[in-house]
Chain A
Amino acid sequence: RKEVEQDPGPFNVPEGATVAFNCTYSNSASQSFFWYRQDCRKEPKLLMSVYSSGNEDGRFTAQLNRASQYISLLIRDSKLSDSATYLCVVNSGGYQKVTFGIGTKLQVIP
């Protein structure tokens, strides 16, 4: 089993739709979780950290389910500008290193 698994997509959704991505991780000792966004041919940028209690930033909500070992990202009222690849990131081997998922590609359609 891979350390971090994501559905690569693509997820094609209409503007205004709600879309959710999941990411599963294999190391039950993982303590920190992040979602990064990567635009085509650009560098990754932090979208949000994922806290045990869940967190929300505008249209974006991230949640952690430790029992089932997955994190999720919910995007409400999708915009064209949300089109990107969303990378799940989980710490591994202590806090010095993290593992990146392959990313889930989102395409928001007019």
Chain B
Amino acid sequence: NAGVTQTPKFRVLKTGQSMTLLCAQDMNHEYMYWYRQDPGMGLRLIHYSVGEGTTAKGEVPDGYNVSRLKKQNFLLGLESAAPSQTSVYFCASSYLASGRGEQYFGPGTRLTVT
């Protein structure tokens, strides 16, 4: 039982490049989330999903897209990376909605955009 896994763990991009961050969970959770964490700021919600095939915008969705084609996977895409997207990205999943119960986080992806 791996919990929540994220790939890659580290990545350096140049401005304008694109990439996809992969998140997988093996707990059969309905809810999945993508957050970013920056110094001096709390985790901020980018996008979330309440089930396979559904996605919704969070607090800071601009510049990101997501897909949830399979229940266990939640993908975060950066179409044209910008230095402002340098951050640590955490994926999370939960059995109940995040406001009702525990979220389980992946180990994070450290992204630098130069």
Q: Using a CB–CB distance below 8 Å, which chain A residues touch chain B?
A: 4, 8, 31-32, 34, 42-46, 49, 87, 91-92, 94-103
Contact = CB atoms under 8 A, between A and B. Distances in A.
Contacts of B48: 96-97
A68 B62 CA distance: 35
B105 A43 contact: yes
B97 A44 contact: no
Interface SS of B by simple majority: loop
What are the 4 A-B residue pairs with the smallest beta carbon separation, nearest first? A91-B99, A95-B99, A100-B42, A43-B105
A106 to B, nearest CB: 17
B42 A101 contact: yes
Interface of B: 35, 40-45, 48, 50, 56, 58-59, 90, 96-103, 105-108
A4 B97 contact: no
A50 to B, nearest CB: 13
Contacts of B99: 31-32, 91-92, 94-98
Given A95-B100, A96-B48, A97-B59, 18 more contacts: A8-B40, A43-B90, A44-B90, A44-B103, A46-B102, A87-B43, A91-B100, A92-B99, A95-B96, A95-B99, A97-B48, A97-B99, A98-B45, A99-B42, A100-B43, A100-B44, A102-B40, A102-B41
A97 B94 CA distance: 12
A34 B101 CA distance: 9
